[in-house]
Structure 1
Amino acid sequence: MDKKLLDVAIIGGGPSGLSAALVLGRARKHVAVIDEGRPRNAVTHETHGFLTRDGISPGEFRRIAKEEIGAYPSVSFVPDMAVSIAGIDGRFQIETEQGQTFASKKVLFTVGMKDRPLDVPGLAEVYGKSAFVCPYCDGWELRDQPLVIITKGAELMHFAPLISGWTNRFTVCTNGPDELTDAEREELQRNQVPLFDSPIRHIDSSDGIVRQVVLKDGTIVPCRGIFFKPELVTGSDLPRAIGCQITETGAVVVDEFGKTNVPGVFSAGDATSRLHQAIAAASLGSFAAAVINNELNTEAWGRNR
């Protein structure tokens, strides 16, 4: 495969990349999905909100997807990590960690996001078991339970009304200055939301299930679950390296068709959107693949004039 010019190199094998591979495979395009197999959601046990796949494990989701894509022989899977990319539209060259080289007409980055190291002692032990980032994904399982919300400022004032749809038994721990206005603090008080701004000393848990959050001022907050705002960065530095525009939050800038500012380079999924749900990533990958296919077909048509 590394000696043949691909139509599309997909870098990243999550829901977005897999959906793109399915569309492009059905469009008879030669595609390689380059993915090292270390997804961000590997810590979670179940994927939710994906119609027909609600509750499936991330690993099983990928297994089924690859099995279905296997019906289209023009798509191959490369269990490796892309480490460098160069070239121009129509002839990109991708090098991998294991020394493979791929040439491709187009590139689709579906590299997702990755978490910065968690700076709250004990949070890593419960992440994916009783501590989560998305109530649409995991709020049902923690409905009506006493929860701790770890966030602050504008994010908190968005999240507090949201989580109240699943439980009104939650306490906010901002792990330092709350970055709120007096009016915002009064709003939380009116809704009977306890607020603590003391730094978190540690999270107590047993077998991944949180029992309490202990603050440095001695306050102990019992709870059965946690929602927190992670610090995220783009899952790969390659989009930046090839010249793609990146936002201050680390997202790849694309237009409504998934095109970056670099001709021939596209991106889709979590790396381009704040809609961090598997079904949203899959839809963005599917649409970007259709746009890429149309661009390839139009270019080929033009050469035959």
Structure 2
Amino acid sequence: MTTNTKVLDAVIIGGGPGGLNAALVLGRARKHVAVIDEGRPRNAVTHAGHGFLTRDGISPSEFRSIAKAEISAYPSVSFVEDKAVSITGADGHFRIKTSQGIQLESKKVMFAVGMRDRSLPVPGLAEVYGKSAFVCPYCDGWELRDEPLVIINKGPEIVHFAPVISGWTDRFTICTNGPDGLTDAERESLQRRVPLYDSPIRNIQSVDGIVQEVILEDGTSIPCRGIFFKPDLELGSDLPPSIGCQLSEEGHVAVDAFGKTSVPGIYSVGDMTSRMHQKIIAAANGAVAAAALNNELNMENWSKNG
């Protein structure tokens, strides 16, 4: 079992855009930081990410490679390719263990592990996920502009999503994959504008990851070239609630404007704190939280040495 005898300033659990940007800010602030990441990001299924200025269209793996190369200019930041499996202690002295038996001690902790998919709700969806089926039109709507799409969602969320997706294409069909969860008025309003089906989805037919049609249990076949669907997500790690971090009603880690959780000394950033799952937002969260964490450390050192 490997133990890091030096008490680090911070351990960042998760190496996505939020965690990496936090590591960059803290490295530039001369803090000793370890980033623990097992290298299995949720967005690995997609070939390219979008909406991040100067990095539009970059693959997730290349994004991380460039980020780590930039961070390597700051020698106080190290990377641990592993999975954090336990956290104990309190503000000023946390202990983090990994699946490979590495133990790290740190004054502060930042969770940046994002969310993970529980399951993909439709047969055939796994084959097209990240290729022609996506969850966010701001990330992938441009590539599917003016194409015939199927939207898999239901309830009040589809009432909001339908006018949003109409900015990219007016050729879409809504499949609720079972009871639609709509009021009569909501249903009538949608049906005046777009086709809406509540029959369960039998399967999705595709060729080389490109969807061809969605087939319903009632035999209806809906030709399309893309899908947007609502994923079923959970926290990417059980560690935040295990150490006492409060969760929101939506199941995210509750944080303030600076990424502080309900547990002193613990911060959280990125997808696990918000419904806005975009790389640029996660990176911004990481920068803000890292500055707040750094200021907290500096104030504590200032008071201690006064």
TM (norm. structure 1) is: 0.99
How many angstroms apart in 2 are the aligned matches of 1:249 and 1:232? 10
Aligned residue among 71, 79, 85 for 2:87: 85
Matches within 5 A, 1:9-88: 9-88=11-90
Question: Over residues 135-180 of structure 1, what are the superposed CA-to-partner deviations in whole Å (9 max), with x where a residue is unaligned?
Answer: 0000000000000000000110110000000000000000000011
Aligned residue among 168, 172, 189 for 2:170: 168
Q: 1:110 corresponds to which letter in structure 2?
A: A
Residue 265 (structure 2) pairs with residue 260 (structure 1): no
Q: Verify the 8 A CA contact 1:7 1:105 in the aligned structure 2.
A: yes
How many angstroms apart in 2 are the aligned matches of 1:60 and 1:99? 29
Q: 2:114 corresponds to which letter in structure 1?
A: G
Question: 1:183: Cα distance to partner?
Answer: 1.0
Q: Which runs of 5+ in 1 are unaligned?
A: none
Q: Verify the 8 A CA contact 1:233 1:249 in the aligned structure 2.
A: no
Question: 1:246: Cα distance to partner?
Answer: 1.1
Aligned to 1:216: 217
Q: 2:215 corresponds to which letter in structure 1?
A: V
Aligned to 2:6: 4
How many angstroms apart in 1 are the aligned matches of 2:145 and 2:113? 32
Aligned to 2:202: 201
Question: 1:182: Cα distance to partner?
Answer: 1.2
Q: Matched residues, percent identical?
A: 73
Q: SS of 2:94's equivalent?
A: strand
Aligned to 1:151: 153
How many angstroms apart in 2 are the aligned matches of 1:257 and 1:141? 34
Alignment RMSD (CA, Å):
0.7
Residue 227 (structure 2) pairs with residue 226 (structure 1): yes
TM (norm. structure 2) is: 0.98
Q: SS of 2:4's equivalent?
A: coil
How many angstroms apart in 2 are the aligned matches of 1:190 and 1:172? 12
Aligned to 2:285: 284
Q: SS of 1:2's equivalent?
A: strand
Q: Which runs of 5+ in 2 are unaligned?
A: none
How many angstroms apart in 2 are the aligned matches of 1:6 and 1:239? 19
Question: 1:248: Cα distance to partner?
Answer: 3.4
Q: 2:118 corresponds to which letter in structure 1?
A: R
How many angstroms apart in 1 are the aligned matches of 2:182 and 2:90? 47
How many angstroms apart in 2 are the aligned matches of 1:122 and 1:139? 21
Aligned to 1:269: 270
Aligned to 2:294: 293
